Structure 1
Amino acid sequence: MPKSSTVSFEQHGGGPEQKIIAPRPHQIVVVGGGIAGLEIVSKLPRTIRRTPIAVTLIDREPAYVWKPMLHTIAAGTTDVSQQETSYIAQARSRRFVFEPGEVQGINRKERKVYLAPLEIDGRRILPKRHISYDTLILATGSQANDFGIPGVRDHCFMIDNRSQAMNFNREIMARVLETLVANSMLQIAVVGGGATGVELAAELIQLTDVTAYYGAAGLRNQVKVTLLESGPNLLGAFPDRVAIAARERLERLGVTVLTGAQVVAADAGSLQLADGRQINAELKVWAAGVKAADACATFDGLEVTRNNQIVVRPTLQTTVDSRIFAVGDCSSLPLDDAGKQLPPAAQVAHQQASHLIRYLPGWLEGVDLPPFNFRDFGSIVSLGGYGAYGSLGQFGLFKGGFIRGRVAQLGHILLYRSHQARLHGFWRGGLIWLADMINSRVRPRIRLPD
């Protein structure tokens, strides 16, 4: 464990000048303000007391939204302004520094992180700059993988972050208004039958149902949602019982579900499948595949997988530099000797963040880091107001059990609310929950066009 350097300053008093040596704060820099990154910066300043530290968070977004909620913001069934956490406000409350910007590179020898110039609406706000670190924690998350398929980047929306979700929401609101005015059809295709794709398809149906409440009674019959999955089943990471129940529910809602549907090209009005079929869709969302950000592959020689994930040791330190950690979706850690990897899931990001929050204080004092151990608490897929399905974890009295209905919906809600409590504290997190409950009673049930 590297020791923090010291700095000196002169103190002038009534007698001779004295030099006082004070320890320089250990610079901890966290790149990425997602589930893992924001939990770490929100807790570390209050956890590490013996070693002087300074904690900095870098993120290109101005605010944070819980990633499992992005699809509801994209569909407009949740208002982003009610669910986002401002990084500046959180930094003030939890005693860290927020540095807006996008990471361009890392210099491991000089221990510097380089940031691109910050521009807003074409105006340069901050120049290209660098931030020095003693310990670097990479928590850059993940994004959908287009696999280099022609036309996907040009013609498909992605909802990997807050800005993308808001962009899609603006587009679908405009499309819905056009559909109502022209009395036409709107065809939407969602590619990817994982949790994001399945939940987004349900939220889009909910959007049409709730819009009817505000006077657009025929919209449900004017919007067609198709969900495509290249594999044989939806929700491949879930138990079969969850996947089957979710598919049956989606089909009863009117979603067309196509499995074994491999997309090979996309254009402005359709998707081309490997078997020659063409799926017409004016609005397309790509939620297939997962990879870490392309920038991870450029981080000064860090070992990465073919999906850009940073390879880490059981201590969550990178294989080539013990000063650098990687957590969450951007990291790659085998679960067993067979090489099975930890899934890109919220519970993994949270548990890895908790591991570092617990053991970094000792590591800064020279204590060895213990290996990270993952505990599978199960998984839940929520179909908005139409139900939820899930499986319990691989331990405990109800090991591997199946849950559905209100029990599963409550479990999904508690996951989010416990996450808020970790970020804001128990009492403030409870007040946020109360405010959300009040808003759900007094504000529109969908985000209406401005």
Structure 2
Amino acid sequence: MRSTSRNDETGITAHRIVIVGGGAGGLELATRLGDQLGKKGKAQITLIDKTRTHVWKPKLHEIAAGSMDMNAHEVHFLAQSHWHHFRYRMGEMTGLDREKKEVHVAPHLDEDGTQVTGQRVFQYDTLIMAIGSQSNDFGTPGVAEHALKLESTDDATRFHRKMVNACIRAHSQPGQLRPEQLQVAIIGAGATGVELAAELHRTTREVVSYGLDRIDPDKDLSIHVIEAADRVLPALPPRLSHATESYLAKQGVKVHTGAKVARVAEDGVHLADGSFIPAELTVWAAGVKAPDFLKNIAGLETNRINQLVVKQTLQTTLDDDIFAIGDCAACPWPEKNGTVPPRAQAANQQATHMLAQMRRRLKGEPLKDYQYKDFGSLVSLGEYSTVGSMMGGLVGGSLMVEGAFAKLMYVSLYKKHELALHGATKVTLDTVARMIVRRTEPHVKLH
């Protein structure tokens, strides 16, 4: 398939911008490019993603815990592309031909194995890789077979379904619970692991409260967080780590620090010191890497976790027509003598920078360097509390925030993402609608 477009008024072929990946950065960029360039016929923007909908990835732990209705928050790519003047094409990228400037996309099959789209090829003048990241299990035995991951909405809904089924099974079965029953082991005490643990503590108790009276929440439900480092949230300042661990302990979450996982089994987790933590559900939330197919794709430079190495302009080091943003990009961070961390705020900043870069590129102007601004990190501890370090890059240190104010800041990050996609009117109406629905339905998803 040739992805070419011709401007009927001028007879000049429009500049073809292909974005691979509809995550936070990719979808925001496609939306804004469509509004500013696609609508006016200055460029043809194509977004390629293997899924049909988008959900902000930091929300996956809420879907997994059942505290967020995915249907009320997902963005349908086809509708978004129609409203914002870009094209959405469904499929998974499998290859790249830099000489012909072609992106190769695999056939897409539905859940019954019926082919929806065949193998396709999309041509580009500018290619922007925004395919995000996935979990890195570091080759730990048993993870692939017995652990769940939170890389997609399918993963999150699968975990939630298993969690609810485990509660119903335990309630209806005769006799005593097995040692691993109603035990959840979360491997990794970074933001994802901690947020999932805090959210699960509340939602599992809410599920049980809907008539599953044979389960004693305080006695039968257990959540374990396993971390190889000596404290939870090792990337945040120690004070916030200690405050978070104290909060989790008060909620009854069992925290195991300095605990290296040796093997994941069907009924629990074996640690390197020989101890065993029984678990009916195990979640792997430790480490990230870019997708494996990116490793040295088409001869481009990649690092040890498959990220595309880019220059300060966000162009790949070996091809100026290919850019990378978000978690799949290894972007220099000169102030730290390292690379920009894989965070949603970085993807948002890079999408904004790329919008200006594309306008310069179409005008033939020199590109500008991207400078990462560190606004700190926030970690949600359930419905009512959040901890974090804010504005660290601006004040020369870390401003510690906790409680209701931190929670407000956390919510505002998601609202900022929604505003970039939908504008103020739709975000306001959607927010009000969710508040009304929340007052009339259970606060936890029960199926």
Give me the TM-score of the superposition, normalised by structure 1.
Answer: 0.93
Counterpart for residue 180 of structure 1? 171
Q: Distance in 1 between matches of 2:52 and 2:415?
A: 22
Q: How far has the Cα of 1:296 moved from its partner?
A: 1.1
Which residue, out of 147, 162, 186, partners 1:156? 147
Letter in 2 for 1:94: H
2:323 alignment partner, one of 322, 325, 338: 325
Q: What is the SS of the residue equivalent to 1:441? A: helix
Cα offset, 1:93, TM superposition: 1.1
CA RMSD, Structure 1 to Structure 2 (Å): 2.0
Structure-2 residue corresponding to 1:273:
271
Contact 1:104–1:295 (8 Å) recurs in 2: yes
Residues in 1 aligned to 2:4 and 2:76: alpha-carbon distance in whole angstroms: 33
In structure 2, distance between residues paired with 1:7 and 1:172:
52
Q: 2:125: which partner in 1?
A: 134
**Does residue 125 of the first structure (1) align with residue 116 of the second (2)?**
yes
Classify 1:366/1:51 alpha carbon distance in 2 versus 1 (closer, same or farther; 3 Å): farther
Distance 1:213 1:341, change over 3 A: same
Q: Does 2:63 match 1:63?
A: no
Aligned to 1:200: 196
> Counterpart in 2 of 1:448?
446
Q: What's the counterpart of residue 14 of structure 1?
A: none
416, 432, 435: which is aligned to 1:434?
A: 432
Partner secondary structure for residue 47 of structure 1? helix
* Equivalent in the alignment of 1:16: none
Which amino acid letter does the alignment assign opposite residue 330 of structure 1? C
| 1:297 equivalent in alignment to 2:289 | no
State the Cα distance separating 1:195 from its structure 2 match: 0.2
Are 1:340 and 2:333 counterparts? no
Contact 1:208 1:220 (C-alpha < 8 Å) held by counterparts: no
Superposed counterparts of 1:358-373, under 5 Å: 358-373=356-371
Query: Please, which moves more after superposition, 286-295 or 430-439?
Result: 430-439
1:339–1:421 Cα change, 3 Å: same
What residue ranges of structure 1 are gaps of 5+ in the alignment?
10-19
Are 1:72 and 2:91 matched, yes or no? no
- The Cα offsets for residues 83-131 of structure 1, whole Å up to 9 and x where unpaired, read as 1111111111111111111111111111111111100121111111111
Q: Specify whether residues 25 and 242 from structure 1 end up closer, same or farther in structure 2 by C-alpha distance, changes over 3 A only.
A: same
CA drift of 1:21 comes to: 5.9
Which of these residues, 87, 97, 114, is aligned with residue 97 of structure 1? 87
Q: Check 1:7–1:287 CA distance in 2 against 1; reply closer, same or farther (3 A cut).
A: closer
What is the CA distance between 1:8 and its match in structure 2?
A: 9.8
Q: Secondary structure at the match of 2:168?
A: helix
Asked if 1 retains the 8 angstrom alpha-carbon contact of 2:313 and 2:367, the reply is: yes
Separation in structure 2 between the aligned mates of residue 273 and residue 396 of structure 1, nearest angstrom: 41
Q: After the TM superposition, list the runs of 4 or more consecutive aligned residues in structure 1 that deviate by more than 4 angstroms.
A: 4-9, 395-399
| Counterpart residue type for residue 265 of structure 1 | R
More moved, 128-137 vs 174-183: 174-183
Q: SS in structure 1 opposite 2:96?
A: strand
- CA deviations over 1:131-179 (Å, ceiling 9, x no partner): 1111110001011101111110111000111111111122112112112
Q: Which digits, 9 at most, give the CA deviation of each residue in 1:296-334, with x for residues without a partner?
A: 115211111110011000000000001100000000012
Q: Which runs of 5+ in 2 are unaligned?
A: none
How many residue pairs end up in the alignment?
A: 436
Q: Distance in 2 between matches of 1:250 and 1:445?
A: 21
Q: How far 1:339 moved relative to its partner? A: 3.5
CA distance in 1 between counterparts of 2:163 and 2:264 reads: 19
Matched, 1:170 2:185: no
Q: Percent identity?
A: 39
Take 1:274 and 1:397, find their aligned partners in 2: how far apart are those partners?
Answer: 41
**Residues 247-301 of structure 1: CA deviation (Å, up to 9, x unaligned):** 1101111111011111121121121211111221121000000101112115211
Whether the 8 Å contact between 2:378 and 2:386 is mirrored in structure 1 is yes
C-alpha separation between the residues in 1 aligned to 2:6 and 2:170?
66
Counterpart for residue 144 of structure 1: 135
Structure 2 residue corresponding to 1:115, chosen from 105, 129, 149: 105
